[in-house]
């Protein structure tokens, strides 16, 4: 083959470079990937840079002065073809083993020919055993690389087998989505070199016969003794013996020894956890190491996923280079030995789920409070664990009050957030009832919103939440009365006759003005307000809404209809909640029938209804009022004329709080 430099990208200008193939070489190694236009691997393989060069495609050669490789070479037999495709060693051994006459003669064969480098990489012991008995061992080895028909790359389908010319023993074929083809986990280097009596494919390894199942490998390998016992205890023997194409990530004895004895004994003694553990080490398809050139996600039999990747020459699992021995081929798949145990969430306790996570500080507090038994045993619970940032620069003392609060972060029963619904009630181990709030942008339990995906363990589920949860202790009125900051507001509510409203069951949001807010009002205005029960009630209702809005539900802007009728605009900026552009002094004071947000100013409703926004429907009653007013002005313009009475039938509008009553002129009222 002839190398080229300075050629244009073959994919973009194929007419300019006929019969030129791209070669992707891994810098610093002898590894080459003969890629096509769909498989550039983003110029990197296993994180390492590559260099693209160009060669004549199989069967063609360069002509001086001509572009590309226009000249087609005459076909020769397989034996002669081996010498020109980089497999001269295979050609030599074919001669020594008396295979040459067969592959020079008539017929239609396919040979998967190991490259020269593949033969050189064999151990001295293996190579000696082959060449010392060329007429049997070497001949049989070569015939195992052959198929008694012509098989091109397009015929090499994923998961299929071909019968070799050595006792019809199967050769396993895998054709992966990234374009890589493996033959018994040996990578196809150069494909489809045609010959007069067949086709030659160059592969990167000398392949050997496979007669053992995955289960047999587990049973006979000394370093898998603990795994062998675990497989027997979980009754997975039949699966690992069955037909199929699996990948077993086999934990070695060393991998099991790295696990704390208490954890290992717990899992080995729990059939369900043990089965989940083992299924987490079995991939649903056979994955040879040579097919992994970048990160990909693989599904396990347990239903979980593992990130399988590579870094240079090493394979990685979830980013760690823990594969110790790779590509042990079996009749029903492939085995890779791993030196770390991969414990799935479903086999972990709540404490184990939280290790090296964003809730580690919370777990320390639960431990200090003596609540470990709830989080390590077989009790079905859901833990609401605040993330570490909640405790940043906040010294926490774990006293009896803190213990009771932490108990209310443990919910009875093992839940999944995807099944939670708005208004759902949850019971805690501290005998409190918690409410679920579902918003457009968040899912909250009381004032705490879920900050990450669930982690579902063996008996418990972990919800990471963004705040310490504060269970409600009484009605809105009870909470206001108990807080000295709201004494003026409490008196105002009583004067306006709203006490009963805020005591009964409901879903209220109250933007509660503090005493400071009332003191900031001009004295005369305050006295006037307090002396007018109707106006006072109107102002107070403007601070209330008939739905619960916690701070976690506010992302940018939320428009909330007040009980007075006008809208409240609630927004968040720099982690501070604002209502009608006034900052909230303290948010999320939870009550059994609502939530309170403290504000240091008294909010004033707009004197008149604002102009309609483009995203809101017009108020029909207001439109009629405007038209009728205009008509009235026209009719009464000439005062010398007899007064004109405009009679309107009584109209009620569902969208409006305006009422127009039938009589002379207009009576505009608020309902």
The predicted structure's pLDDT at residue 39: 52
Domains of the chain: 20-72 (no CATH), 78-203 (2.30.180.10), 214-343 (2.30.180.10), 348-465 (2.30.180.10), 476-599 (2.30.180.10)
Q: How far, in Å, are 30, 93, 452 from residue 116 at the CA level?
A: 12, 11, 53
**Cβ distance 305 to 296 under 8 Å?**
no
Q: What confidence tier does 35 reach under pLDDT thresholds 50, 70, 90?
A: low
Residue 481 clears pLDDT 90, i.e. is over it: yes
Token pair for residue 453?
């995906």
- Among residues 239, 214, 204, which one has the least CA distance to residue 337? 214
Helix (H, G, I), strand (E, B) or coil at 514: coil
Average per-residue pLDDT in the chain?
A: 86
Interhelix angle 225-233/271-279, nearest 10 degrees? 120
Considering only residues 67 and 38, tell me which one the structure prediction assigns the higher pLDDT. Answer: 67
Q: What confidence tier does 27 reach under pLDDT thresholds 50, 70, 90?
A: confident
**Among 11-20, 244-253, 481-490, which is the least confidently predicted range?**
11-20
Token pair for residue 617?
């429907």
Bridge partners, 568 (sequence order)? 560
The predicted structure's pLDDT at residue 4: 31
**Cβ distance 314 to 321 under 8 Å?**
yes
The predicted structure's pLDDT at residue 21: 79
Q: What confidence tier does 575 reach under pLDDT thresholds 50, 70, 90?
A: confident
**pLDDT tens-digit series, residues 581-609:** 999 999 999 999 999 999 999 999 975 33
Q: What is the percent of the chain with per-residue pLDDT over 70, rounded to a whole number?
A: 86
The predicted structure's pLDDT at residue 616: 40
Residue 438 clears pLDDT 60, i.e. is over it: yes
Considering only residues 555 and 552, tell me which one the structure prediction assigns the higher pLDDT. Answer: 552
Q: How far apart are the first and last CA of the chain?
A: 92
**pLDDT tens-digit series, residues 237-275:** 999 999 989 999 999 999 999 999 999 999 999 999 999
* pTM for the predicted model, two decimal places: 0.77
- Compute the CA torsion angle 36, 194, 86, 201 (nearest 10 deg): 70
Residue 12 clears pLDDT 70, i.e. is over it: no
């Amino acid at each position: 083959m002839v190398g080229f430099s300075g050629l244009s990208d073959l994919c973009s200008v194929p007419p300019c470079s006929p019969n030129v193939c791209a070669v992707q070489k891994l810098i610093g190694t002898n590894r080459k990937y003969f890629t096509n236009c769909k498989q550039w691997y983003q110029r990197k393989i296993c994180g390492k840079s590559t260099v693209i060069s160009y060669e004549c495609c199989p069967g063609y050669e360069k002509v001086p002065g001509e572009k590309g490789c226009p000249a087609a070479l005459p076909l020769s037999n397989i034996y002669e073809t081996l010498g020109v495709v980089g497999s001269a060693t295979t050609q030599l051994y074919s001669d020594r083993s008396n295979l040459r006459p067969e592959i020079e003669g008539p017929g239609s064969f396919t040979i998967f020919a190991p490259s020269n480098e593949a033969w050189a990489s064999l151990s001295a012991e293996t190579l000696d055993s082959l060449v010392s008995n060329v007429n049997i061992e070497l001949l049989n080895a070569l015939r195992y690389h052959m198929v008694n028909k012509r098989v091109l790359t397009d015929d090499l389908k994923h998961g299929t087998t071909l019968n070799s010319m050595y006792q019809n023993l199967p050769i396993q074929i895998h054709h992966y989505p990234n374009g890589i083809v493996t033959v018994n986990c040996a990578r196809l280097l150069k494909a489809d070199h045609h010959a007069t009596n067949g086709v030659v494919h160059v592969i990167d390894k000398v392949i050997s016969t496979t007669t053992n199942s995955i289960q047999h490998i587990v049973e006979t390998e000394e370093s898998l003794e603990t795994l062998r016992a675990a497989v027997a205890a979980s009754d997975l023997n039949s699966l690992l013996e069955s037909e199929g194409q699996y990948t077993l990530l086999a934990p070695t004895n060393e991998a099991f020894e790295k696990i704390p004895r208490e954890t290992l004994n717990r899992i080995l003694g729990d059939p369900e956890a043990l089965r989940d553990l083992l299924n987490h080490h079995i991939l649903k398809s056979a994955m040879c190491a040579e097919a992994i050139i970048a990160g990909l996600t693989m599904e396990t039999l347990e239903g979980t996923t593992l990130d399988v990747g590579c870094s240079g020459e090493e394979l990685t699992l979830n980013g760690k280079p823990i594969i110790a021995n790779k590509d042990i081929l079996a009749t029903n798949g492939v085995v890779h030995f791993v030196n770390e145990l991969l414990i799935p969430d479903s086999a972990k306790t709540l404490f184990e789920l939280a290790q090296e996570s964003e809730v580690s500080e919370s777990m320390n507090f639960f431990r200090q409070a003596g609540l470990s038994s709830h989080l390590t045993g077989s009790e079905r619970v859901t833990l609401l664990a605040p993330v570490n940032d909640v405790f940043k620069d906040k010294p926490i003392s774990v006293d009896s009050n803190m213990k009771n609060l932490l108990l209310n972060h443990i919910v009875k029963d093992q839940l999944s957030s995807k099944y939670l619904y708005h208004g759902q009630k949850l019971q805690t181990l501290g005998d409190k009832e918690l409410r679920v709030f579902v918003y457009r942008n968040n899912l909250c339990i009381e004032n705490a919103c879920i900050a990450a995906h669930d982690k579902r363990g063996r008996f418990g589920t972990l919800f990471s939440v963004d705040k310490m949860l504060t269970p409600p202790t009484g009605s809105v009125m009870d909470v206001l009365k108990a807080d000295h900051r709201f004494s003026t507001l409490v008196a105002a509510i009583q004067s306006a006759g709203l006490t009963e409203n805020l005591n009964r069951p409901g879903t209220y949001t109250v933007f509660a003005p503090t005493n400071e807010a009332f003191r900031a009002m001009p004295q005369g205005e305050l006295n006037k307000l307090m002396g007018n029960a109707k106006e006072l009630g109107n102002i107070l209702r403007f601070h209330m809404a008939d739905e619960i809005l916690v701070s976690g539900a506010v992302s940018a802007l939320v428009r909330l209809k007040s009980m007075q009728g006008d809208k409240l605009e609630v927004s968040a900026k720099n982690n501070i909640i604002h209502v009608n552009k006034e900052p909230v002094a303290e948010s999320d004071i939870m009550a059994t029938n609502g939530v309170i947000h403290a504000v240091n100013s008294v909010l004033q409703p707009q004197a008149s209804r604002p102009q309609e926004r483009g995203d809101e429907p017009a108020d029909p009653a207001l439109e009629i009022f405007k038209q009728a007013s205009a008509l009235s002005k026209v009719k009464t313009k000439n005062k010398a004329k007899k007064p004109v009475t405009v009679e309107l039938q009584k109209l009620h509008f569902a969208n409006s709080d305006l009422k127009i009553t039938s009589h002379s002129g207009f009576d505009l009222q608020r309902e």
